[in-house]
Structure 1
Amino acid sequence: MSDDFEDVLHAVGPRLRALRRHRGLTLAEVAGTTGVSESTLSRLESGQRRAGLELLLPLARAYRVPLDDLVGAPRSGDPRVHLTPIHRHGMTFVPLSRRPGGMQAYKMIIPSSDHPPEPDHQTHDGHEWLYVLHGHLRLVLGEHDLVLPAGEAAEFDTSLPHWLGSADGKAVELLILFGQQGERAHLRARAARD
């Protein structure tokens, strides 16, 4: 066996003893909960007996800890998504997807303002779909000047002059799906043929 494996096995006993003592339990109390004899528990903690799954599983249940904690397994990584906001034109864009090319997803936050900016139309290649989560979005699209409340969506070709802002000076939050190559954000399902 490798030295790393042996080191892990030798560290189990002291870890078990520290956990039991931290919980304020006696060997007899742990034996009564797990069905593992006091002598076996004592030998495990002192390193005189090697820990196997048949012993570690009931101990993990009794101490209410993951098995990984008993053997000191390395953490597999933080499952949380750490998003890095992008700040442009006074707005915040939080990328929700990381796939290069193709469809991109963002949460966009337009902050409240006592003096909302005048529309500054932009154009670029692509296709955009948006859904208002909170607030009232002002969407200026070509000749159209629209107000979308929470729960409404819009879809447009971004080669048309467009501008997004707050309709009432209050904060607005929305989801945006953007396809740089002009991909549309949704497909219409067709009924299955019999």
Structure 2
Amino acid sequence: MDAMSEEIEGVLDVVGPRLRALRRQRGSTLAEVAAKTGISESTLSRLESGRRRANLELLLPLARAYDVPLDDLVGAPHTGDPRIHLHPIRRYGMTFIPLSRRPGGVQAYKMIIPGRKAPAVPSLKTHSGYEWLYVLNGRLRLVLGERDLVLGPGEAAEFDTTLPHWLGTADGRVVELLILFGTQGERVHVQPRRD
């Protein structure tokens, strides 16, 4: 067996224990996972015990069901290139840079609001979810319902996005911020450091 085949065998050998650990962490039964994925209980049991080899047809629905990247299921080896290739998204005249690549759950973004004069009466929007933001640079104008706030570098805010809201520049200059957003209304919980 060549080195590549040995590496593949090694990766596949850890899939079963990883699947069992994920299922137990989530407190799920084989029957519950089978119902979510359409994979039979016996196949799931054989995967977890190592009596069945994993393939993409089995791993993709399991990655979705457990809400983890496929790489986490197989313990994929690092490629050696530590660079992260971010792909900016431009919406509403702003730039969003995704910082998290995990599907579902809380998503992290760096948001850049270009320098320009803000409208006198901003158009407030609503959508499902919960948002936490932290101003890195510039002065952010946050309109939240009837409140009109200005946040500077180092200041943070969190709010339910079903409330009418608007984000923009407070002084016509560029604003950079970090955003954590959960579509299901997940709130950010920050614990103080205890030394």
TM-score (norm 2): 0.56
- How far, CA to CA, are the matches of 1:122 and 1:93 in structure 2? 17
1:5-27 alpha-carbon deviations (Å, 9 max, x no partner)? 9xxxxxxxxxxxxxxxxxxxxxx
Of 118, 139, 150, which aligns to 1:116?
Answer: 118
Of 159, 181, 186, which aligns to 1:183?
Answer: 186
Q: Displacement, 1:188? A: 4.9
Q: Displacement, 1:86? A: 0.3
Identity within the alignment, %:
70
1:90-118 alpha-carbon deviations (Å, 9 max, x no partner)? 000000001111000000000111x3235
Secondary structure of 2:159's counterpart equals strand
Q: Displacement, 1:186? A: 1.3
Secondary structure of 2:97's counterpart equals strand
Give the gaps of 5 or more residues in structure 2. Answer: 5-77
2:99 paired with 1:99? no
RMSD over aligned Cα, in angstroms?
Answer: 2.5
Q: Displacement, 1:78? A: 2.1
Q: Which runs of 4+ in 1 moved over 6 A?
A: 2-5
Aligned to 1:145: 148
State how many pairs are aligned. Answer: 120
- How far, CA to CA, are the matches of 1:146 and 1:153 in structure 2? 11
Aligned to 1:158: 161
1:39-78 superposed matches below 5 A: 76-78=79-81
Give the gaps of 5 or more residues in structure 1. Answer: 6-74
- How far, CA to CA, are the matches of 1:3 and 1:178 in structure 2? 46
Partner amino acid for 2:90?
Answer: H
- How far, CA to CA, are the matches of 1:138 and 1:98 in structure 2? 28
Aligned to 2:175: 172
Partner amino acid for 1:117?
Answer: P
**Which of the two has higher C-alpha Rg?**
1
Aligned to 2:25: none
